[in-house]
């Protein structure tokens, strides 16, 4: 097995896979990669299965020293990655030789990037490698952490590359939420025709502010929520729940993001604007 060392973790970098399934009834969040499309692509490029762990970095990428030869691929946000100072391409596999260092520079597009490492291994808790406070020993990568992977024994990585990059998309597809019918159609039409401002974001959720606060309604009984559920909070703001969100909530569920839109939103930053596009359900 090869080893790599975290010289600097970047900003809120963590190990993630596709999530911790089947434990929501015990109050345990699903977790997993925020942008799962990019995480899957990173794994496929380095010959891992789609459920394998990846490194997720937010806004600022980590600095990693490789003790043995490895094959890697970087997807999602473009944080100008380089090996020993030489810029490398996104969405393409690369060989890192023993003694080389992967580092990052300026964030050019997107918000979260994914590092796939061939044969990356980590301890699983409840069937998942995804780091989460109180569930795993650590909630994020830290300086001095050591990761294990299968050494890549070939001198070259091959030529596999995909044409895939983050593109600015400010329209998110949503489906009707369970409590949408509690609002007047005029209110919903006004919301769907407006640009909404992202106020704050983290792995638990995105706070999204309409130009005009919606009429608030009394809290409802605690009900199940899942990643992508959009709730209306008492402040009149929307809260789009993400991968580390709680499993129940007492605010009206006004919309539900599509899976593709969860991935898109995960690549957006505070201060950006979005629009919601309602997709009717046909049963």
- pLDDT tens per residue across span 48-61: 999 999 999 999 99
Which helix (H) or strand (E) covers residue 229, if one does?
Answer: strand 229-232
pLDDT score at 215: 77
Spatial neighbors of 100 by CB under 8 A, at least 6 apart, are: 65, 66, 83, 84
pLDDT score at 161: 61
Q: Rounded to an integer, what is the distance from CA 165 to the centroid of its chain?
A: 15
- pLDDT tens per residue across span 146-189: 999 999 987 665 655 666 555 556 899 999 999 999 888 988 99
pLDDT score at 213: 78
Give the global pTM. Answer: 0.93
Options 1.10.760.10, 3.40.50.300, 2.60.40.10, 2.40.100.10; CATH for 171-278 is 2.40.100.10
pLDDT score at 236: 86
The per-residue pLDDT string of the chain (283 residues; one tens digit each, 9 = 90 and over) reads 899 999 999 999 999 999 999 999 999 999 999 999 999 999 999 999 999 999 999 999 999 999 999 999 999 999 999 999 999 999 999 999 999 999 999 999 999 999 999 999 999 999 999 999 999 999 999 999 999 999 998 766 565 566 655 555 689 999 999 999 988 898 899 999 999 999 999 999 999 999 887 777 767 889 999 999 999 998 889 999 999 999 999 999 999 999 999 999 999 999 999 999 999 876 5
pLDDT score at 162: 62
Each domain of the chain, given as residue ranges in start order, spans 2-149, 171-278
Length of the chain: 283
Q: Which two tokens stand for residue 121?
A: 């291994």
Residue 135 has, within 13 A of its CA and on its CB side, a CA count of: 26
CA separation for the pair 274, 254 (Å, rounded)? 16
For 117-137, the DSSP string reads ETT-B---BTTB----BTTBS
Instruction: Specify whether the CB–CB gap between 118 and 149 falls below 8 A.
Output: yes
């Amino acid at each position: 097995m090869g080893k790599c060392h975290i010289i600097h973790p970047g900003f809120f970098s963590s190990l993630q896979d596709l999530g911790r399934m089947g434990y929501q009834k015990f109050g345990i969040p699903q977790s997993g990669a925020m942008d799962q499309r990019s995480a899957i692509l990173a794994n496929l490029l380095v010959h891992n299965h789609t459920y394998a762990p990846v490194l997720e970095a937010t806004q600022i990428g980590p600095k990693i020293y490789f003790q043995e030869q490895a094959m890697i691929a970087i997807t999602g946000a473009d944080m100008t990655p380089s090996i020993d100072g030489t810029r490398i391409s996104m969405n393409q596999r690369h060989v890192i030789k023993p003694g080389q260092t992967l580092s990052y520079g300026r964030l050019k597009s997107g918000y979260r990037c994914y590092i796939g490492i061939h044969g990356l291994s980590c301890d699983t808790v409840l069937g998942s490698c995804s780091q989460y406070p109180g569930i795993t020993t650590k909630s994020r990568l830290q300086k001095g952490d050591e990761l294990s992977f299968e050494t890549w024994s070939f001198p070259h990585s091959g030529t596999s590359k995909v044409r895939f990059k983050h593109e600015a998309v400010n329209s998110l597809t949503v489906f009707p939420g369970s409590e949408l019918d509690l609002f007047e159609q005029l209110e919903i039409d006004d919301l769907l025709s407006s640009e909404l401002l992202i106020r704050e974001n983290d792995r638990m959720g995105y706070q999204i502010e309409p130009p005009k606060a919606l009429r608030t309604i009394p809290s409802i009984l605690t009900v199940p929520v899942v990643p992508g559920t959009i709730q209306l909070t008492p402040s009149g703001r929307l809260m789009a729940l993400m991968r580390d969100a709680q499993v129940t909530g007492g605010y009206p569920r006004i919309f539900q993001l599509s899976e593709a839109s969860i991935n898109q939103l995960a690549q957006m930053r505070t201060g950006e604007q979005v629009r919601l596009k309602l997709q009717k359900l046909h049963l």
